[in-house]
Amino acid sequence: MAGQASTYPLQSGAPGLAAGARLLRRFLQEILEDLLETASVAKKKESGTLKYLVAVPHGMDAADPGSLYVVEEYQNSDAFALHCQQETVQRVAKSLQTAELGDGAMTLVLGADCELGFSRPEVSALSDPFVSILQLFFKSGAGPEGLEALRKVVEAGKSDSGTLGFSVYPDPKDNDTVRFLGVYESQDHYFKVHIESPEVKRFQAATKDITVETKAHFLKPVGGFLYKKQS
């Protein structure tokens, strides 16, 4: 997930936390095994780790050919702290601190609106879901209005069997920036069903005059998980 390179102070037990990174794939080939092992441990042993996706840009995303993305979602900051105790996580973090990652390498810690988002168990059965990350930049003070309009898209997605999950990640440092993770059964479903849906058309019309910029990234998962059954 792309964004400003920064970390934010977290309140212990605060609901909803997402972390993300966009890194140079040629460097991450050296630690990809650690990332996949981290995902495996998180799925089996970390009840508070809700998502851990390792992905590369989708073939259609020609503007972003050399990155590797890691998208993580946690119940709260305590779950994130537990995850960070993993040996592989510490090994990866140490490598990232000492490596020259180049232009465009970024990390983020964001909020996660767990009540608004959803994930379907069916996503676990798909070997190649289509994943999008939208970065929505609204005019100063217009973020809450944009988020409310986005809420209607999410609610409609819950009735669309081909939409396998939505996650909404507000930026705790900027109320006018929202990142939106969408998971779909296929690329065709995203472009021919989701984008053409009445709810998305209404969202686009409602936010046209308050949106400064929209950036889209399309991803192909190479490891990790996008759904975990809650106990």
pLDDT tens readout for residues 165-212: 999 888 888 999 999 999 999 999 999 999 999 999 999 999 999 999
pLDDT tens readout for residues 28-87: 666 788 889 999 999 999 999 999 999 888 876 555 656 778 888 888 888 889 999 999
86-87-92-96 Cα dihedral, nearest 10 degrees: 90
Q: Which two tokens stand for residue 159?
A: 């009735």
What CATH number labels 15-224? Answer: 3.30.70.100
Which residues have CB under 8 Å from 23's CB, separation 6+?
Answer: 67, 68, 69, 70, 96, 101, 105, 106
Which residues have CB under 8 Å from 214's CB, separation 6+?
Answer: 134, 135, 136, 137
Which residues have CB under 8 Å from 4's CB, separation 6+?
Answer: 106, 108
Q: Residues 138, 162: contact at Cβ < 8 Å?
A: no
Q: Residues 20, 71: contact at Cβ < 8 Å?
A: yes
> Could you tell me the residue ranges of all domains in the chain?
15-224
Average pLDDT over residues 214-218: 91
Q: In what order do the strands lie in the sheet with 163-171?
A: 106-111, 15-24, 67-76, 49-57, 211-225, 130-138, 174-184, 163-171, 118-119
